[in-house]
Chains A and B, each alone.
Chain A
Amino acid sequence: MTGTVTLSQAQPRRATASLSVTLMVNGAIHDLFIDVRTSLLDALREHIGLTGAKKGCDHGQCGACTVHIDGRRVVSCLTLAAQAQGYDVGTIEGLQGVDGALHPMQQAFIDHDALQCGYCTPGQIMSAIACVQEGHAKSLDEIREYMSGNLCRCGAYVGIVAAIEDVAARTQG
């Protein structure tokens, strides 16, 4: 873990602080040398070139930047890139199968017309997959409650809830 700084190695304060960080994203390793202030979202978009996760608010309020860390959904805008070292980061780009097949949740979003402009969609889909995996998609009310961290300015909510209900019904049998 090249980028990990322990207390004993802590550097005195400098005018600009940069850091080596190694991130594991969708199974691939990326060695980055970045400003310490960089969010995981900016590291993904600006340094690794994975622009699927979107920046809506940059303050944890909209869910457009939702990614998985060790399989759990988080907002990448309020995660420091340095914090994510040593964990498995999963983004929308990692969902597609090797044969190019869409993830069932991606297909369900298409089938249920669960988007209009598409800006919130990668965050919705990452959140939706986790929602089903957590077992929080057992009723429409539960889906609405546990998806409330993902806002959609186009108001595609009816389709989003239907897509999740559909995948949950097929997954939970």
Chain B
Amino acid sequence: MQPFTYVRASNVGDAVKALSRGAKLLAGGTTLYDLMKLRIERPERIIDINHLGELKHFDTSGERELVFGALARMSEVAADAGLVRDYPAISESLWRAASQQLRNMASLGGNLLQRTRCPYFRGGEPYACNKRDPGSGCAAAEGLDRGQALLGASPSCSAVYPGDFAAALVAFDAEIDVVGPGGERVLPFEELHREPADTPQKETTLEPGEMIVRIRIPVTPLGRASTFLKVRDRESYAFALASAAVALEMDGDVVRDARVAVGGLATRPWRARAAERLLIGRRFDESAARAAGEAALDGAIPGRSNAFRIELGIRTVTDALMTARQRA
């Protein structure tokens, strides 16, 4: 690991100033420090933002929106009684991620900016990786692709965006507040992450020097009938092979409104609007749910050994919608 200087920021202004001079922010450190040990992140300066008390609060009691400071911890937010009642999908996306130790450390802001678990990205030097080392190629193209993305991949990169919380946020039109050298701006969460195209090293639309200070989720009747379903190689403590964040608002048996997003399958948080359009105005039953699942995976391109995750994704969306129906 490369040596660095360690500094504690005492206000957001200091943090942004240091950030725009090339420092890295340290929140929970569960992504950053891990990747520093692998020599994939090599910051020269680290700004510890854990003492910015103003960013630790969250409030789920608002009538218009839920507000989360970027330093709110995953474990505390997941356990919030208001969130469990009004937005179960968000709570589930948090407590089904990582372990309780990691959730006690990890912040919501850091969570959104966690990096891919692609083994060739994490494996370092011996492997070509356009995300880690632009222009070097992609070892996954000829390598093991069981875990690679089926949606949103490009010839230069098929690394999955692994975060569960983001999969849920993208379904519910969340916004983030960002502070940079030029002041504060609002960014629709859906616009934060980019598809790799031919610049997989550019993962977000944040400008140099910008930090996330808040995440806001609008209150909607859909929230209560939402769910997050995560399918993995083991029952707990693993990244998703496929996940779905869905919600329904019903008018009798007919769907008045719907939300569908998938996780674990795509290169970025993935909203499936085609699936939503298919459900809205239609009588809900299992075949409608299955049709929505198929629409969500429409355009999926299989590699050599990950084609099973298309059917898995369809079934994950279908099952999640059946659960949401029971809550609606």
Contact = CB atoms under 8 A, between A and B. Distances in A.
B105 A59 contact: no
Nearest to A66: B101
A78 B105 contact: yes
B1 interface: yes
B33 A149 contact: no
Nearest to A21: B6
A18 to B, nearest CB: 9
Interface stretch (A4-12, A25-33, A44-52): A4-12
Interface in A107-147: 127, 130-131, 134, 136, 144-146
Interface string B1-41: 10111111110001000100000001011100110111000
B37 A17 contact: no
Tell me if B's interface is mostly helix, strand, loop or mixed: mixed
Given A80-B33, A134-B100, A146-B100, A13 B105 contact: no
B133 interface: no
B5 A13 contact: yes
A6 B29 CA distance: 19
Given A7-B14, A136-B100, A36 B6 contact: yes
A79 B105 contact: yes
Nearest to B3: A17
A10 B38 CA distance: 26
A168 to B, nearest CB: 15
Given A4-B8, A134-B100, A148-B99, 12 more contacts: A5-B8, A6-B7, A7-B10, A35-B3, A60-B102, A73-B100, A74-B104, A78-B28, A78-B29, A78-B34, A78-B105, A127-B101
